[in-house]
Structure 1
């Protein structure tokens, strides 16, 4: 069905669908361009059921290539080029693609070559098989080798339908997609839902996030909704333009991790609407909703499940999800068991439900630290650290300890101009945390390694701590 989405939208109302820089693309323009790309790809040997790996620089070409592959019935496998050649080789060996479109490493043909050959339209049939695998999205491999999540057409369409209904999106809505198109958030938070209803999507020309450009574009394009990860929203709220420009027309959504209360408060103090979202590659990025006016009073909550989505907690508090938007499983991993016997997806995330029925995220199950018989949620300690006036960033993880079983360790980045010791930090933390939650070791570093979308690999931090104690990034000032 996705193969005909652009054509159907163009028939209803041929408005601007996507804008990149000074270039605007209507729905009919996108349909024609994706048709020509489908023709070129089919001439290169791409057939129904094939996998095509993409490392494409141009965001508009990435979008049209996806729709071109849907017309053929092939599967998009977008890869983050920043993960390096070893990661790419792993994905190549795993999915055995019929084609690689590569603007970075020279492992396949370039997108320019595809466009050069895209000189005819492509005749395709309307299909109604929602079980076709539309994308394979690779996880970062934070707990082992990367795994390719098989995202079927039904998952994408149902996520879009549920989002449109639950968040009240219409053809009059506009957004900027700041997340990359090798990430489920880039495709599925707002891009596909807005294309479904005939809205407008602005795609940045570069994958480097610029808070000033984002604010200016939100105002210039009249954007009505915007989703960012915590680092993006923090940067937006710290920009001088945040104070001087009016963003009251924008609904802000945080995803990819909890937003610090003090960051959320900056938006609330300006009278802006904001709420916390939650998602994952395997179940799409949009699963909850809490009205902005309720979020103000409970900024650590994600609210209640969206329409058609069932949620429950396991005995240990793991969030379990069931719905038509959930993925089909992992590519080439028949031994993986991501579902319970009654069909719920195991998210690996620990939640609590309050007496209002609102859900709140506690921690990744694998990141919960068991120390001296007590459970410590790393996110709780991170929030406490980041709210200290002299801490700019922090990450908390557990390491093996002979006495405690696991010891709580924190790596922190100080704000410029502050001179504090490890004991100073521990003393301040004891004012707000139980003593067993206070890190046994606090390491000052110049920066904390993160992915392009601002996420931290706790596994990498543990490995670096055990290997050399972060000696290459120590801040001894």
Structure 2
């Protein structure tokens, strides 16, 4: 069905679908471009059921390429170029692609070469193909090698439908896409829902996030809705332009992690609308909604499940999700079953439900620390650390301890110019946290080690602490 989305939207109203810089593309123009790229892919030997690995510099061409692959019935496998050649080769070995389109390393044909072949339009038929794999998106791999999540067409379409209906999106909405198109958020939080409903999508010309440019673009394009991860929203709220440019027409959404209350307050203090979302590659990723009005008084809550989404908590508090937007499983991992016996996706995340039925994220299940018989959620301690005026970044994890079972350990990065000790941090934390939640050890480092895709792996931090105490990144100033 997605192969004909652009054509159907153009038939209803041929408005602007995508804008990049000063260039605007209507739905019919985007349809024509995707048809031509589909023609080129067909000439290059791509067939129904194939996979195409992509490292495409132009977001516009990446979007057109996705719709071209839908016309053929092949799957898009977008790769983060920052992970380098080795990761690209890992993915290629895993999915055995019919084609690699690579604008970075020369490991396959370039997008320019594809466009040179796109001299005619591909002829396609309308197909009911909701079970067909449309994307394979590689997830973090913090507990082993990265895994390719098989996102079928029905998942993308239903996520878009659920989002449009639950969040009240219309053809009058406009968004700026800041997340890259190798990430589920880049595709499925707002890009696909807005194309479905006939809205307008602004794409960046580069993959480098710039808070000043983002503010200026949100204002100039009169964007009505914007999703960013916590670091993006933090950077936007700290930009000098934040107090100079009127963004009251924008509904802000935080995704990809809990937003610190202090950051949320900067938006709320300006009377801007904002709410916290929650999702994962394997489910949607849109799952909850809380109105900006209610969010003001429940900053740690993600609200209630969206339409057609079922949620429950397991006996140990893990969030379980069922719905038509949930993925099919992991590529080439037949032994790995992420579902319960009654068909719910196991998210690996611990949640709580309050007396109003609102859900709140607590921690990754594998990252919860059990110390002296008490549960400590690493996210809560990290948030407290980051609220201290001299802490720039923090990560909290548990390590084995003979007395406590597990001990809470934190690695932190000091802000430039601050001279604080471990005892200083503990003393300040005791003012806002129960004593058992205060880390037994606080280690100052120049930077917090992250995985190859830029995430913090608590497992790796734990192993490094036990192995060498972060000696290569210690901050001894």
TM range (shorter): over 0.9
**SS of residue paired to 1:382:** helix
SS in structure 1 at match of 2:297: coil
Q: CA deviation at 1:443?
A: 1.2
> 1:429·1:438 contact (CA, 8 Å) conserved in 2?
yes
In structure 2, relative to structure 1, the CA distance for the partners of 1:148 and 1:98 (3 Å cut) is same
1:395 counterpart residue number: 395
1:151 to 1:231, Cα distance in 2 relative to 1, 3 A: same
Where does residue 118 of structure 1 map in the other structure?
118
In structure 1, the partner of 2:207 is: 207
Is 1:256 paired with 2:251?
no
Query: SS of the residue aligned with 1:247?
Result: coil
Distance across 1 between alignment mates of 2:262 and 2:452: 23
Q: Per-residue deviation at 1:90?
A: 1.7
Deviation at 1:86, TM superposition (A): 2.4
2:315 alignment counterpart: 315
Deviation at 1:454, TM superposition (A): 6.5
User: Would you say the 8 A contact 1:255–1:278 is kept in 2?
Assistant: yes
Comparing 350-359 and 459-468, the one that deviates more: 459-468
Gaps of 5+ in 1: none
CA RMSD of aligned residues (A): 1.4
Q: Comparing 366-375 with 335-344, which one deviates more in the overlay?
A: 366-375
1:475 equivalent in alignment to 2:475: yes
Correspondence for 2:296: 296
Give the 3-state SS of the residue equivalent to 1:281 in structure 2.
Answer: coil
1:319 Cα deviation (Å)?
Answer: 0.3
Counterpart CA distance in 1 for 2:405 and 2:182 is: 38
Alignment-derived partner of residue 383 in structure 1: 383
Match of 1:70 in 2: 70
Q: Secondary structure at the match of 2:282?
A: helix
Say if 2:147 is the partner of 1:147. Answer: yes
CA shift, 1:85, in A, is: 2.3
CA distance in 2, matches of 1:236, 1:67: 32
SS at match of 2:163: helix
For residues 156-180 of structure 1, the C-alpha deviation after alignment (integer angstroms, 9 at most, x for no partner) is 0000001001111111111111001
CA contact (8 A) 1:231 1:454 kept: no
Task: Supply the distance in 1 between the matched residues of 2:276 and 2:110 (Cα, whole angstroms).
Answer: 38
Alpha-carbon offset, residue 377 of structure 1: 0.6
Q: 1:335 maps to which residue? A: 335
| Aligned residue in 1 for 2:273 | 273
State the shift of 1:453 in Å.
8.5
Contact residue 56 and residue 102 of structure 2 kept, 8 A: yes
Aligned partners of 2:369, 2:472: CA distance in 1, in Å? 26
Tell me how far apart the structure 1 counterparts of residues 278 and 97 of structure 2 sit (CA, whole Å).
31
How many residues were matched structurally? 477
Counterparts of 1:418 and 1:142, CA distance in 2? 32
Tell me what 2:94 maps to: 94
**2:83/2:452 contact within 8 Å kept:** no
The residue number in structure 1 matching 2:443 is 443
Q: Which residue of 1 aligns with 2:415?
A: 415
Does 1:170 pair with 2:170? Answer: yes
- Return the alpha-carbon distance in structure 2 between the equivalents of residues 285 and 31 of structure 1: 25
Could you tell me the TM-score, scaled by structure 1's length? Answer: 0.98
Corresponding residue SS for 2:329: coil
Unpaired runs of 5+ residues, structure 2, are none
Equivalence for 1:61: 61
Inter-CA distance 452–183: structure 2 relative to 1 (3 Å threshold): farther
